[in-house]
Amino acid sequence: MIHPEIFENINKVVDHLNNQGWSLSRTYIRNAQYTVMDYGNDNMVYNPQPHASPLFRGQNEFYEPCIASFYRNRTDEYTQFIYRLKIEEFGIVTSKHPAIKETIETGIFYDYIAVAQHYEFKTEMLDLTNSLPVAAFFAVTRQDSGKYVPMCESSKPGVLYFIQPTAQFSLISNDNQPEIHPVGWQVFKRPGEQRAFLINLTKNRDFNNMANVHAFRFIQDKSISEQIYHSFHKGEDLFPKDIFAEKAARIKDSTIFSKAAFDKAFENSEIS
């Protein structure tokens, strides 16, 4: 549901939600606790606490429709196949790392597609978080030459999405509810710091039309943007350096792929 009002700034959105009885905190908690939950098929995942809290998504601009990057710009099936190739190559390369192997052997589910999403591969997913401050960061910043900078004034409103707890943890997609699941704390630090969840929007589904999803548009405010931006040390808290960032960047830019990646991508594609 898209709220009809455009709020004065993002703080007014939070005030509105708190007035509805949600008691949302604006404070980012470092080193959050995680609990292990059953992902199914004897796989486990680290779930960021608090459990069954609302989920959020922040964007510096409101889009209609709001779809996964995999489907944007009316991509054809061959372009989508290349997207799948890169994701599968990422999964094959990273799963060979000793730390990932150890994680898998202990029964923790390594969701390489979800992790690839956090390294900005084109996937059928959208990022969510159970941390309001994290969502607010992405709602009031923009990328400039690979770095995040605070938004100033804009003619287009930003948006803070609020997802009610009743929509969470559907591990199997159906017509009414797409899959939503935690990415969990991985060897890759980025998803953990961002308290990452994902919603799987296959078949070009529009996030704006999902049940229990509420979009609150707001006017960008330079001073608020700068305050949130600096509270995360210019984004460094959410994008810690790790050994896979450079590797992910190379795979995204590559035009050479392994046969194993090709076979797996072809298996999951709609190319006949």
Evaluate if pTM is beyond 0.85.
yes
Residue 114 binned pLDDT confidence (cut-offs 50, 70, 90): confident
Q: Which residues contact 194 (CB under 8 A, 6 or more apart)?
A: 118, 127, 129, 131, 134, 238
Q: Tell me what percent of the residues of the chain surpass a pLDDT of 90.
A: 55
Residue 167 binned pLDDT confidence (cut-offs 50, 70, 90): low
Question: Would you give the distance in Å from CA 132 to the centre of its chain?
Answer: 13
At residue 166, the pLDDT reads 64
At residue 173, the pLDDT reads 47
In contact, 195 and 134? CB cutoff 8 Å? yes
**Tokens representing 129?**
């978080």
What's the average model confidence in pLDDT over 206-217? 94
Residue (of 109, 127, 130) closest to 51 by Cα position: 130
At residue 178, the pLDDT reads 58
CA distances 178 to 58, 114, 206, Å, are: 19, 15, 11
